[in-house]
Structure 1
Amino acid sequence: MNFLLNLAAWQQALLATLFTWGLTALGAALVFAFKTIRSNALAMMYGFAAGVMIAASFWSLLDPAISLAEQQDRTPWLVVATGFILGGLFLYIADKIIPRLYLKHNRHPEGRRTQLKRTILLVFSITLHNIPEGLAVGVAFGAIGAAASGNQSAMILAAITVAIGIGLQNFPEGAAVSIPLRQSGMSRTRAFMYGQASGVVEPVAGILGAILVASVNMILPYALAFAAGAMIYVACKELIPEAHARTTAESHWAIFGIMAGFTLMMVLDVALG
């Protein structure tokens, strides 16, 4: 931990987002072992990722945002609500402007019409919401330098849990890109390259988020809440529907995954915090 505290915020964010990118690549590497993954396993993986993100959004982002707003003598509920809504609105607008291809069968691209190939759209869809995930990690680490010296140890633990949570949900995303591409006839190596490439934007977004927050202390609580709103949007719009789409009405694997992911991240946040 002392090693991390001695690094600049952008360096901390870079290391953390390289970790999250690595888990994306690890998930994509499943294509070398499997051509398909059982539906129940995928459902639980997506559910687990959603549970992790929901828990991390509150304990690692919204709760610190409330505390920081109070320290700055602002109205905590207004600051946090504003940032949270803006985070969700950011991804909603991106959904409408940028062509999307969701992972369910028989879905169609949203937004403006495009002639891009399905494979490019598939990668682009995952890559799009990796941007706010990278920002979330960068914001969390940028908050460390902006916090009072007595709070830095707690803040770095919170930032680490954010990185762990996002990394865990990146693992099934990597597989969700590479394995369908392999099923469509693409070579394993090329499918893996597309899968891991979807996480490339996270280090870039993480560095930008860390530099911005560390430079402008006043926006810190808004930025934390913004990152939480973006994460909740991803969980509700992408991960939870995808988890349920992988199971039958009688199956509860998606719910088991959500509960397990939420519990794990809650325990990590409370214990480490």
Structure 2
Amino acid sequence: MNQKMLDLMMGFAAGVMIAASFWSLLAPAIDLSIELSGNAWLTTATGFLLGGFFVIGSDIVLSKASSMQTKGNTLKRSILLTSAVTLHNIPEGMAIGIAFGCAALGIEGATVHAALMLALGVGLQNFPEGVCVAMPLRRDGASRMKSFFVGQLSGAVEPIAGTLGVLFALTIRNALPLALSFSAGAMIAVVCSELIPESFKNNKTIAAIGVIFGFAVMMILDVALG
């Protein structure tokens, strides 16, 4: 894929995910916290910090594990990369599922089109992630078909995690503010640690345009049409 187009696409996904983290996750978490306990800041702040540190901690552990491998052992590094992408897809899938579950419950601030845009943003940024998994495997001698399917499987955890997120949202209402804010923190951490650095590395202006446009699209859909 053309690098400029890839950076624009990743920037757009980052903008959508930043906006969705607030309007689809944090805002409903705050409203629901007020309704359930009258506490608008402690639960959401705790969940947000836990979600962010969960992703950051996972990245640190996997990075240390990767650095312990010898430079010639590329297959092990490919396995670690696949594991890293797969693990950080789990909170993304749960965030989407929780967003749809909250929309189904009719929680104020949670809408179906907001959840759809969140899914779109996550889906867009999964394209380069799949390539990042498949290409090293191909380089290490795996067949094209095997590289392709391993790349696909790294994202297969998202619909599973999404289903769990929906079930969680529909059955454990009192824990929803914490779950929503946890998902928001995880999403912001993914954007800051993965999408922003990667997309801004080669084409800062184009990536910035993508972020602004993605944020604006999500904001318009959620605020104007909500």
Give the TM-score, by structure 2 length: 0.85
Aligned-residue offset at 1:219: 0.8
2:90–2:157 CA contact under 8 A, matched in 1: yes
- Determine which of 157, 165, 171 is the counterpart of 1:201: 157
Task: Report what 2:95 is aligned to.
Answer: 136
Task: Report what 1:67 is aligned to.
Answer: 31
Aligned-residue CA RMSD (Å)? 2.6
The whole-number CA distance in structure 2 between the counterparts of 1:174 and 1:246 is 20
For 1:212, give the aligned amino acid: F
Look up the SS of the partner of 1:117 in the other structure. helix
Task: Report what 1:120 is aligned to.
Answer: 79
1:52–1:169 CA contact under 8 A, matched in 2: no
- Determine which of 38, 48, 55 is the counterpart of 2:2: 38
For 1:220, give the aligned amino acid: L
The whole-number CA distance in structure 2 between the counterparts of 1:270 and 1:94 is 33
For 2:206, give the aligned amino acid: W
The whole-number CA distance in structure 2 between the counterparts of 1:146 and 1:73 is 18
Give the TM-score, by structure 1 length: 0.72
Unmatched runs of 5 consecutive residues or more in structure 2: none
Aligned-residue offset at 1:48: 1.6
Aligned-residue offset at 1:199: 0.5
The whole-number CA distance in structure 1 between the counterparts of 2:224 and 2:139 is 42
For 1:178, give the aligned amino acid: A
Task: Report what 1:190 is aligned to.
Answer: 146
CA gap 1:137/1:147 in 2 versus in 1, 3 angstroms: same
Task: Report what 1:159 is aligned to.
Answer: 115
Aligned-residue offset at 1:145: 4.7
Look up the SS of the partner of 2:66 in the other structure. coil
2:69–2:76 CA contact under 8 A, matched in 1: no
Look up the SS of the partner of 1:76 in the other structure. coil
The whole-number CA distance in structure 1 between the counterparts of 2:16 and 2:163 is 23
CA gap 1:232/1:174 in 2 versus in 1, 3 angstroms: same
Aligned-residue offset at 1:183: 5.7
For 2:120, give the aligned amino acid: I
The whole-number CA distance in structure 2 between the counterparts of 1:272 and 1:210 is 23
Give CA-to-partner distance per residue, 1:59-114, whole Å, 9 cap, x none.
111111111112224221222111111110111222233x249xxxxxx925x769
Residue 226, structure 1, aligned to residue 185, structure 2: no
- Determine which of 18, 26, 36 is the counterpart of 1:54: 18
Which is helix-richer, 1 or 2? 2
Give CA-to-partner distance per residue, 1:123-180, whole Å, 9 cap, x none.
22211110000110121123245446xx59x533332232222222223322333345
CA gap 1:71/1:166 in 2 versus in 1, 3 angstroms: same
For 1:140, give the aligned amino acid: A
2:14–2:191 CA contact under 8 A, matched in 1: yes
CA gap 1:170/1:272 in 2 versus in 1, 3 angstroms: farther
CA gap 1:90/1:160 in 2 versus in 1, 3 angstroms: same
